[in-house]
Amino acid sequence: MDRAGTCVMTAEIAIMNKQGVALAADSAVTVEDHSHPDSYRENRSKTFNAVNKLFMLSDEAPVGLMVFGGAEVTGLPWETAVKAFRSRLGLATYDYLELYLDEFLLFLEGTPELFPRSEQETDFLRLVSSYFNGKILASIRSRVGETIEVEGFIKEGQVRAIVNQSIREVHLELGSEPMLSGFDASYEAKLKLEYSSQIDLLIGEIFEKLPIGKTNRDRLEQISAMLMTRNIWPETKSGIVVAGFGEKEYKPSIIQCDVQGVACDRVKYIKDIRSTVTSEDYGQIFPFAQREMVDLFMTGIDPFFNDEILSGLSQIFQGLPATLLATMTVDAPTAERLQTALSVAATEIPKQFEKAIDEYARERHISPILQAVAVLPKEGLAEMAESLVNLTSFKRKVTLDLETVGGPIDVAVISKGDGFVWIKRKHYFEAERNPHFMARYIR
């Protein structure tokens, strides 16, 4: 049921001002092997530097599309899906950028040959299996282990109670999540009906001899359906970034959309970021996936280092009231008042410190950079986007981290007047040996 591996793409940048928007993407894709036990997974991944992540979405309009995260959607490479849509779109144009994204999503749902039912079933059941194992079974095992550690044994009734509690908690948690736009209870019922027998087999395989019972089986079926309809993202999702101009738009926009997959001919997606250049916000930078080096460049401090500082400071101040009171000789009422006052201060001081750091980063780093971005010419936008991807790639290259960013960087600039312009673009072939391809591309 599991695929051999998950393909993950990790370094993409969009930079935008009144002139247009620059998109840059590296060529790395990391294949993570899920066919071996957990103890081996960390050593079974490989990175290839040959994938395309940046595309013209239209042959006619100034619109581009960039992908990150998962390299496939329900077994289909994003490159295949995007180029098939572009061919179908032809010379059609739309007044607003968001309509291109809407049409692309409708194309995914309305073209059944892209996603055969067998692929949809495999992908959906893999998602359910992963969630059952990683969320519910892991919780049951942890609670059973804790009980045995404390009491030295566990009774059948205790196991039944743990199973019931673990499944009920997840069912309530997912049920409290909002349903995504376009989905309703009837679609959840359709999913349950479509895959009921396969989910039942999964329950038997994953939970084996655990006492599940009819009520919990029903809950697990409902949980399976909710994985495709609720605002939860249990696995690596794909990201789509559509950028450019609609026919009636004269300032660039970008829209980010997260996609989980396709089941029962419906795409699970949510639109995450919508941004347009405005009179108050002329320069904008958007990192996607691995963004820590861009955050370091923008704020002047590594985000993980910043988190460690704030966490350490908070721990120090949390222990400070007890430490101070231990050195003082006061009566009980006074000690209680001091404890309360010191505890409030211990909570507030780290917050004030964090706020001061944020204000400093914005005044001395973020604002000056964005002010410079606002006046960059189109070639400056392209150079900056490429440099930020290169920065992430270089960090991965000189450390012991897996090199999940690398290879040639594709760069494009989209403007109202010039349309979609490639600044840098890799080919897996030599152009002079493939004149038929170049002629077809030019047409």
What does the domain layout of the chain look like in residue ranges?
Answer: 1-282+385-443, 298-372
Span 235-277, pLDDT tens digits: 778 899 999 999 999 999 999 999 999 999 999 999 988 999 9
pLDDT in tens, 46-96: 666 778 999 999 999 999 999 998 888 999 999 999 999 999 999 999 999
Query: Which pLDDT belongs to residue 406?
Result: 67
pLDDT of residue 40: 39
Q: What is the pTM of this model?
A: 0.85
User: Ranked by mean pLDDT, which of 324-328, 382-386, 393-397 comes out on top?
Assistant: 382-386
Average pLDDT, the chain: 88
**Mean pLDDT score, 29-40:** 53
Which whole-number Å values give the CA distances from 287 to 23, 49, 170, 439, in the listed order? 10, 20, 32, 35
